[in-house]
Amino acid sequence: MKEFNLTSEENLIESILIVDDQPANLRVLSKMLEGRNYKVKKASDGESAIMAAQSQPPDLILLDILMPNMDGYEVCKIIKSDDKTKDIPVIFISALSDVFDKIKAFEIGGIDYVTKPFQEEEVLARITSQLTIQTQRKLLAKERELLEKEHQLLRKEIRQRKEAEAILYQSRALISSILNASLDGIAALEAVRDTKTGKIIDFRCIVVNPVTAQIFNSQPEDLTGKLIFKKFINKIKPELFTAFIQVVETGKSLEQDIKYNHKNEQKWFHYIAVKLGDGFSVTVRDITVRKKLELKLSKLATIDGLTGVYNRHYFNNILTQEWERNCREKQYLSLILCDVDYFKPYNDFYGHQKGDSCLIAVAKTMNNVVKRSSDILARYGGEEFAVILPNTPKEGAIKIAENLREEIEKLNIPHAKSNISEYVTISLGVASIIPDCESSIESLIRIADNALYFAKENGRNQVKFYNHEELEIRNKND
Ligand SMILES: [Mg+2]
């Protein structure tokens, strides 16, 4: 900042204005100075000296004191009273014989004086010394100017910084009010890495809002800066920790529902984790109410309203699923179809209300027999029930069907209109198949249905079994 551009020609050649009413003096001085490479201007009276100084201010003025009309003192006064010329150093010229008032000369702004006849070395030394002082002064002025500019820039920078701080403060206040008022949990976490391997070993909470803290049963200040994330996540679902590391490493966000036991209550949360620096931010929403409602609705949609066992719609879905799974695993899939014997006469005789009670009792009893969680009991039609038995070959399926028949018979529900018993009984058809690409779900149902038909034809209250081959043989014999 302290380098000045003094290399221009204007600055290199210093100009001197010589003022003297005697042409001989002008000649001597100008010859002396031009010989030293100064740019010289001459004036032979006060008025033209002032005009010359004002039109093109020189670096120095050599000013004769005794001149007609306007003397040197007067010229100096005017030069020193004009802003444009006041800084030009003035050296007075006086003859040895002149009555020269040195005090007056210095008072009105003269800086030095030389005497005639001129001692060349002395004149040059005085001029050089004044010009050097002048140059130094100009440099100082320029330096001051630059400093002032720099101060201005600094002041501007300070002002801008203060403005930025105010904006920052406002946005912090805004963020904090959003975080505090949010109904969702919001948190920001940064990765904590192993110093040797660089692998993420945990996450540190940077920002935690009150709703998030509540999920942790704490206050935000208890969590901020703490390394508790891994411990907490491992309690809920350990594989989630790896999933969050993936968010940081790949930049792909993660969004899912999560089930969490909160203060002995089953809770569901929906969360979105998004990469943020070397960490992630996460938004968590409590969706327990919605989830419970959904579960209730989806359960309602799968249950038969009268008997409480699964409905036909659910039966179809599960049968398709199990068909595909048993096909992949090459395992037997068995199906039992069953009918309450002479149910129409029962309904006609006892009335629909009793009919409904009978179906409820039958379903309840059958449900007690079908115990494996993978087995599905469904109401297939009016008085028809179906049981899906995955991974179950013929023998197991027949055993369960026989159990069902026995347990219903044991209920001893009076049936005045049955042609085969005093009590309510059921007929059952069983089919077993290892599903493959050539067979279809319909074929399994058809085989079970045929077996059921055969059980009824054969006297009811009994179990009949077909597998694929047996049905084909029977069909041929018929
Ligand atoms: Mg004179």
Indicate whether 10 pLDDT > 60: no
Q: Determine the distance separating the centroid of ligand 1 and the alpha carbon of 205, expressed in angstroms.
A: 92
Q: Determine the distance separating the centroid of ligand 1 and the alpha carbon of 196, expressed in angstroms.
A: 93
Q: Determine the distance separating the centroid of ligand 1 and the alpha carbon of 93, expressed in angstroms.
A: 8
* DSSP run (H or E) holding 56: none
Same domain, 210 and 351: no
Q: Determine the distance separating the centroid of ligand 1 and the alpha carbon of 81, expressed in angstroms.
A: 23
Q: Determine the distance separating the centroid of ligand 1 and the alpha carbon of 369, expressed in angstroms.
A: 142
Q: Determine the distance separating the centroid of ligand 1 and the alpha carbon of 53, expressed in angstroms.
A: 19
Between CA 148 and CA 156, with CA 152 as vertex, the angle to 5 degrees is 170
Indicate whether 4 pLDDT > 70: no
Same domain, 370 and 221: no
Q: Report if residue 470 sits inside a domain.
A: yes
What are the two backbone dihedrals, phi and then psi, of residue 174, each rounded to the nearest 5 degrees? -65, -50
Q: Scan for tokens 């002149």, then name that residue.
A: 98
pLDDT at 221: 87
Of 80, 110, 141, the residue at which a domain comes to its end is 141
Between CA 319 and CA 324, with CA 320 as vertex, the angle to 5 degrees is 115
pLDDT at 12: 65
Domain CATH for 379 = 3.30.70.270
* DSSP run (H or E) holding 397: helix 394-410
Same domain, 309 and 394: yes
Residue-wise DSSP of 355-370? HHHHHHHHHHHHHHH-
Q: Determine the distance separating the centroid of ligand 1 and the alpha carbon of 115, expressed in angstroms.
A: 12
Same domain, 253 and 388: no
pLDDT tens per residue across span 431-465: 999 998 778 899 899 999 999 999 999 999 999 99
Same domain, 273 and 400: no
Residue-wise DSSP of 209-253? -HHHHHHTTS-HHHHTT---HHHHHHHH-THHHHHHHHHHHH---
Q: Determine the distance separating the centroid of ligand 1 and the alpha carbon of 15, expressed in angstroms.
A: 22
Q: Which residues pair with 62 in a beta bridge?
A: 18, 91
112's CB contacts (< 8 A; 6+ apart) are 89, 91, 92, 126, 130
Q: Report if residue 177 sits inside a domain.
A: no
Q: Determine the distance separating the centroid of ligand 1 and the alpha carbon of 116, expressed in angstroms.
A: 10
Contact 223, 213 (CB under 8 A): yes
Which range among 124-128, 150-154, 265-269, 318-322 shows the weakest confidence by mean pLDDT? 265-269
Q: Determine the distance separating the centroid of ligand 1 and the alpha carbon of 66, expressed in angstroms.
A: 4
Determine the Cα–Cα distance for residues 189 and 247; give it in Å rounded to an integer: 12
R_g of the chain, CA atoms, integer Å: 56
Q: Report if residue 147 sits inside a domain.
A: no
Q: Which residues pair with 340 in a beta bridge?
A: 426
Q: Determine the distance separating the centroid of ligand 1 and the alpha carbon of 123, expressed in angstroms.
A: 17
Same domain, 325 and 460: yes
Q: Scan for tokens 């935690």, then name that residue.
A: 208
Identity at 13, one-letter amino acid code: I
Q: Determine the distance separating the centroid of ligand 1 and the alpha carbon of 58, expressed in angstroms.
A: 21
Q: Determine the distance separating the centroid of ligand 1 and the alpha carbon of 38, expressed in angstroms.
A: 23
Q: Determine the distance separating the centroid of ligand 1 and the alpha carbon of 96, expressed in angstroms.
A: 12
Domain CATH for 216 = 3.30.450.20
Q: Determine the distance separating the centroid of ligand 1 and the alpha carbon of 396, expressed in angstroms.
A: 144
pLDDT tens per residue across span 107-131: 999 999 998 888 889 999 999 999 9
Residues of the chain with pLDDT > 90, as a percent, come to 74
Contact 248, 275 (CB under 8 A): yes
Alpha helix ranges (H) inside 69-116: 72-81, 102-107
**CA torsion through residues 339, 342, 345, 348, sign:** negative
Q: Report if residue 266 sits inside a domain.
A: yes
Q: Report if residue 347 sits inside a domain.
A: yes
Residue 215's pLDDT band (cuts 50, 70, 90)? confident
Determine the Cα–Cα distance for residues 73 and 45; give it in Å rounded to an integer: 12
pLDDT at 214: 87
3-class SS of residue 198: coil
Q: Determine the distance separating the centroid of ligand 1 and the alpha carbon of 83, expressed in angstroms.
A: 27
Q: Determine the distance separating the centroid of ligand 1 and the alpha carbon of 22, expressed in angstroms.
A: 6
Name the average pLDDT for the chain.
90
Residue 6's pLDDT band (cuts 50, 70, 90)? very low
Indicate whether 2 pLDDT > 60: no
From the list 338, 367, 333, the residue with the least C-alpha distance to 462 is 338
Contact 344, 359 (CB under 8 A): no
Q: Report if residue 72 sits inside a domain.
A: yes
User: What is the number of domains present in the chain?
Assistant: 3
3-class SS of residue 287: coil
pLDDT tens per residue across span 265-300: 888 999 999 999 999 999 999 999 999 998 888 888
Indicate whether 229 pLDDT > 90: no
Q: Report if residue 163 sits inside a domain.
A: no
pLDDT at 260: 82
Determine the Cα–Cα distance for residues 19 and 337; give it in Å rounded to an integer: 135
Q: Determine the distance separating the centroid of ligand 1 and the alpha carbon of 65, expressed in angstroms.
A: 6
Residues 392-421: what's their mean pLDDT?
96
Determine the Cα–Cα distance for residues 141 and 151; give it in Å rounded to an integer: 15
Same domain, 270 and 328: no
Same domain, 204 and 102: no
Same domain, 275 and 310: no
Same domain, 263 and 409: no
Q: Report if residue 171 sits inside a domain.
A: no
Q: Determine the distance separating the centroid of ligand 1 and the alpha carbon of 111, expressed in angstroms.
A: 19
Indicate whether 248 pLDDT > 90: yes
Q: Determine the distance separating the centroid of ligand 1 and the alpha carbon of 121, expressed in angstroms.
A: 21
Q: Determine the distance separating the centroid of ligand 1 and the alpha carbon of 108, expressed in angstroms.
A: 19
Same domain, 434 and 362: yes
Q: Determine the distance separating the centroid of ligand 1 and the alpha carbon of 419, expressed in angstroms.
A: 162
Q: Determine the distance separating the centroid of ligand 1 and the alpha carbon of 445, expressed in angstroms.
A: 140
Instruction: Give the CA distances from residue 38 to residues 34, 128, 136, 288, 385, in Å, rounded to whole numbers and listed in that order.
Output: 5, 11, 18, 96, 125
Q: Determine the distance separating the centroid of ligand 1 and the alpha carbon of 44, expressed in angstroms.
A: 9
51's CB contacts (< 8 A; 6+ apart) are none
From the list 81, 38, 83, the residue with the least C-alpha distance to 62 is 38
Q: Determine the distance separating the centroid of ligand 1 and the alpha carbon of 122, expressed in angstroms.
A: 20
3-class SS of residue 88: coil
3-class SS of residue 393: coil
Q: Determine the distance separating the centroid of ligand 1 and the alpha carbon of 21, expressed in angstroms.
A: 5
From the list 194, 201, 200, 206, the residue with the least C-alpha distance to 250 is 200
Q: Determine the distance separating the centroid of ligand 1 and the alpha carbon of 124, expressed in angstroms.
A: 20
Q: Determine the distance separating the centroid of ligand 1 and the alpha carbon of 63, expressed in angstroms.
A: 9
Q: Determine the distance separating the centroid of ligand 1 and the alpha carbon of 423, expressed in angstroms.
A: 157
pLDDT at 5: 47
Structural domain harbouring 432: 301-477
Indicate whether 142 pLDDT > 70: yes
> With 0-12 CB in 10 A as exposed, 13-18 as middle and 19+ as buried, what is 378?
buried
Q: Determine the distance separating the centroid of ligand 1 and the alpha carbon of 19, expressed in angstroms.
A: 9
Q: Determine the distance separating the centroid of ligand 1 and the alpha carbon of 95, expressed in angstroms.
A: 8
Determine the Cα–Cα distance for residues 340 and 327; give it in Å rounded to an integer: 31
Contact 104, 73 (CB under 8 A): yes
Contact 47, 72 (CB under 8 A): no
Determine the Cα–Cα distance for residues 387 and 57; give it in Å rounded to an integer: 117
Q: Supply the pTM of this predicted model.
A: 0.47
Q: Determine the distance separating the centroid of ligand 1 and the alpha carbon of 113, expressed in angstroms.
A: 14
Q: Scan for tokens 């493959």, then name that residue.
A: 436
Determine the Cα–Cα distance for residues 331 and 309; give it in Å rounded to an integer: 26
> With 0-12 CB in 10 A as exposed, 13-18 as middle and 19+ as buried, what is 252?
exposed
Residues 305-327: what's their mean pLDDT?
93
Q: Determine the distance separating the centroid of ligand 1 and the alpha carbon of 90, expressed in angstroms.
A: 16
Q: Determine the distance separating the centroid of ligand 1 and the alpha carbon of 67, expressed in angstroms.
A: 5
Same domain, 120 and 262: no
pLDDT at 477: 61
**CA torsion through residues 400, 402, 403, 404, sign:** positive
> With 0-12 CB in 10 A as exposed, 13-18 as middle and 19+ as buried, what is 124?
middle
